[in-house]
Structure 1
Amino acid sequence: MPSRFLSSDIAPFLRLALAEGWICGKWEMEFLLQAFPQGCFVKRTGNKTLGYISTLRHDKSGWIGNLLVSSEARRGGIGSELMQAALQALLEAGVETVWLTASAKGVELYRKLGFIPIDSINRWVGEGRGGSGWSPSPPCDWEVIRLVDKAGWGDHRDALLDVAISRGQVMCGNYSFVCIQHWQQGTQLGPWGAIIEGQAASLLDPALAASARHVFLDVPSGNLAAAALLTRKGFSIKGSNTLMYLGARPKYAPQKVFALASMGSMG
């Protein structure tokens, strides 16, 4: 049976994630272990850890991420065992809808568990301005950020918004906002939400002015306005995953979601 993910598991997980080319940080795992510790698991054999998974509960929904099994232990059912433990933890916590993003290899596995594809998430990359020309924006209204995010995802996701905003910069417009998160690999834009397209577009130039030269963001393919906006700015798609859900069909509005809050593990 899987065991609880402990703080001592963070460093070996990050080493394995880095080897897989993931963008993931210590702060993220510390947040997940603090926010929903009963939904984060590892699979051990003796003193060796073979696999990891994390979950995050929002209000009526939850997210499964960071399913990672060491290469020598794959195809042995460890991933399925970790998934079952994660699902059980979320459902026991009263979650009605469970989200995840799946690689091309993982889609059929998740279909067998009852997950339904609802969209795809594209990784867009482009160039920022290295911080030149950036000036601080006026303070944002937290209630507006909550309202805009819920309009896109159909749920309150306060803890996720709080951690993303607290580690970066946030810019707001008229019923729109974008968070700028700095990583070693560059700058991530997201979460980024807007009620209508024009409100999102007005935030992109100041966000790029505050960004490093390398910028990346994960965008629903269902948001055609976001794709057109990023294409005009010279961005291109470098990868894609399938967005899937289990349980109650979410009130998901991709045209209001211009970028995810995290690089796949939290929504």
Structure 2
Amino acid sequence: MADTVIKAPLTILRPAIHDWGAFFFWAQDEGWQVLPPETALFRGPLAGWAFALRQDDQTCGFVTAVPYPDFAWIGNLIIAPEMRGKGLGRHLFDRVCEKIRQTGIDSIWLTASDQGKPLYASRGFQECDRVERWQMYIPAHYHNYTPSLDTDLDTLLKADQQAWNTDRRLVLQYLATGGEIIQAGKSIALVQNYGAVKVLGPWLAMEDTAKEHVAIILAATRASGGGTLYVDILESSGAGAMLEECGFTRSGDCALMVAAGRPTTSPEKAVSLASLGSLG
């Protein structure tokens, strides 16, 4: 794929308020769920990893990255609708990959739509799994779950580190604020609470058993307190059939892709991502 020649000067810099405003507008138009902890992270401890692309002082692109100790995750890559097809997405993506690799990280993960896959494949990314989005509306009165103890966060962090082989404590602590941790046998998951929007993730299973999958799903619906519960599962986990059986509807899917210096597969003990695509 040949890159389009970009004639006007481009700058990539830390987003200002108006850049964030443009990003939220585009994201809403795409139907993305941009949740509060993402904004808090990228305007707080990860402020150096949110990037706005400007051309002639006009905001025309946005992207974020999370540099975990052993790999990085790229999310929220978006170009202004009227600026697409000019090579700006490739330019922004290449620059953020370059910045990541300058830190010594050589493994980069992301999720990709079928439209975006050719770009990432041309940069050495390979599909290693599919990510399925499932969702379910839960009535507000459906809540009879006892909140877990705060100490269970350590158990969740240890299970997540075992699955992904890296420490994601910073991000997971933000996601866990106001949420509930649920457990079933050797499986553990976080139910994130953002008012009418809930997210089930990360969901880790030390043993692949349908019984534990169903127990986690039912516990998550009880812990949600009402609203729409979303979960992005790895297709390889096999949890989709149990989600459908419990009343969830599949609303989309995308590719899980990775570029690494060594052969890499999706983490075997991870059932779902910790976020809706942007944080891994």
Kindly provide the amino acid, as one letter, of the partner of residue 265 in structure 1.
Answer: S
Q: Does 1:135 align with 2:152?
A: no
Is residue 104 from structure 1 mapped to residue 117 from structure 2 by the alignment? no
* Aligned equivalent of 1:230, options 243, 255, 276: 243
Cα distance per residue 1:160-183 (max 9 Å; x no partner)? 211111242222344432111233
Residue ranges of structure 2 left out of the alignment (5+ in a row): 1-9
TM-score (norm 1): 0.90
Could you list the runs of 5+ residues in structure 1 that have no partner in the other structure?
none
State the secondary structure of the residue aligned to 1:217: strand
Matches within 5 A, 1:254-265: 254=268, 256-265=269-278
C-alpha distance in structure 2 between counterparts of 1:177 and 1:156, whole Å: 17
Q: Counterpart of 2:55 in structure 1: which amino acid?
A: T
2:230 aligned partner, one-letter code: F
Matched, 1:252 2:266: yes
Matched, 1:214 2:228: yes
- Percent identical residues: 26
SS of the aligned residue for 1:191 comes to: strand
Q: What's the offset of the Cα at 1:186? A: 2.5
State TM-score, norm by structure 2.
0.87
2: CA distance, partners of 1:88 / 1:96:
10
Distance change (3 Å), C-alpha of 1:156 and 1:88:
same
Q: Which residue of 2 aligns with 1:76?
A: 86
Give the Cα separation in 2 of the matches to 1:52 and 1:167. 28
Q: 1:240 Cα deviation (Å)?
A: 0.4
Q: Shift of residue 52 of structure 1?
A: 0.4
Shift of 1:69: 0.4
Q: Secondary structure at the match of 2:236?
A: coil
Change (3 A) 1:107 1:125: same
Decide which moves more: 103-112 or 177-186.
177-186
Given that 2:217 and 2:246 are in contact with CA atoms closer than 8 Å, whether structure 1 keeps it comes out as no
- Say if 1:121 and 1:221, in contact at 8 Å, map to a contact too: yes
1:3 is the counterpart of 2:12: yes
Structure possessing the higher radius of gyration over alpha carbons: 2
Q: CA-atom RMSD, angstroms?
A: 2.0
1:151-203 Cα offsets, whole Å, 9 max, x none, are 32232211121111124222234443211123355321111112113444433
C-alpha displacement of 1:25 = 3.0
Distance 1:167 1:210 in 2: 12
Hey, what's the Cα distance between the residues in 2 that align with 1:188 and 1:195?
20
Number of equivalent positions: 265
